[in-house]
Structure 1
Amino acid sequence: MNVTRFDAAPDYFPDNHFLMRCVRLQGHEAGPAESLWIGVSTIEPGGYTSLSASAVEKHYVVLTGELTVRTDEGAVLLRVNDSCRLAPGERRALQNLSSAPVSVLLAMPLV
């Protein structure tokens, strides 16, 4: 078993993420994993990512707050416990348009 305490989770710094703190809970520098890694992003009010795509699918689950996820097809507001899946190659932008921080769980394949 590999346990990662949230307060000790290692930070990582993805490109084009603004006013965000990203930590890994499992996989990569957080410990061994065979198929996926899991992280949490805390997005401050006004925080966002640029509209971009990934070669692998991504799954998001909102833990606290409200998150706007924008794709080429439009935007959707996710609230606590809502989730979405983004297909490989699907462009997305995350935005916190609220006045409170939002926390989002991210799961994606190891690459």
Structure 2
Amino acid sequence: MLIKRFSEALQYEAPNHFDCKAMRLAGFEEGGPEKFWVGCSHFLPGGGAGPDSSPMEKVYVILSGELTIRVGGTEEKAGPMDSVTIPAGEVREIVNEANDVVTMIVAMPYPEKS
């Protein structure tokens, strides 16, 4: 068992994200998960990511606030405790269109080693 305290979470720069602070909660450390990692992102009002895609699937769980997600010409809003699955290769754009901070968990597999 490994307990990683929130106070130990390291910030990281998420590519193509703006007005966002991201922290790695689990993964990329000795004794951590072997197949995936978990992060926590805080999006300021107007903050977001994309449009872009990833070669790996990902899951978002919105903890607070409301996030607008655009995929393939469709736009949906996700709020507290909603989960969003983004398949590998799917172009997505996310944006916080409200005045509250959005906090979400992201879980995704490790990048493939080349």
* TM superposition score normalised by structure 1: 0.93
Give the Cα–Cα distance (whole angstroms) in 2 for the partners of residues 70 and 31 of structure 1.
36
Please give the residue correspondences for 1:1-111 in structure 2 after superposition, counting only pairs within 5 Å: 1-29=1-29, 32-111=32-111
Of all paired residues, the percent bearing the same amino acid is 37
| CA-atom RMSD in angstroms | 1.4
**AA in 2 matched with 1:5:** R
Deviations 1:4-50 (A, max 9, x none): 22232101102211000000110025862211100010000010112
Q: Which runs of 4+ in 1 moved over 4 A?
A: none
Secondary structure of the structure 2 residue equivalent to 1:103: strand
SS in 2 for 1:7: helix
Between the aligned partners of 2:31 and 2:19, the Cα distance in structure 1 is: 26
Kept in 2: contact 1:36–1:107 (CA 8 A):
yes
- Answer yes or no: is the 8 Å Cα contact 1:10–1:29 preserved in 2: no
Note closer, same or farther for the CA distance 1:12–1:93 as it changes in structure 2 (3 Å cut). same
Against the structure 1 CA distance between its residues 31 and 25, is the aligned structure 2 distance closer, same or farther, given a 3 Å change threshold? Answer: farther
Gaps of 5+ in 2: none
5+ long unaligned stretches in structure 1: none
Work out the number of aligned pairs and report it: 111
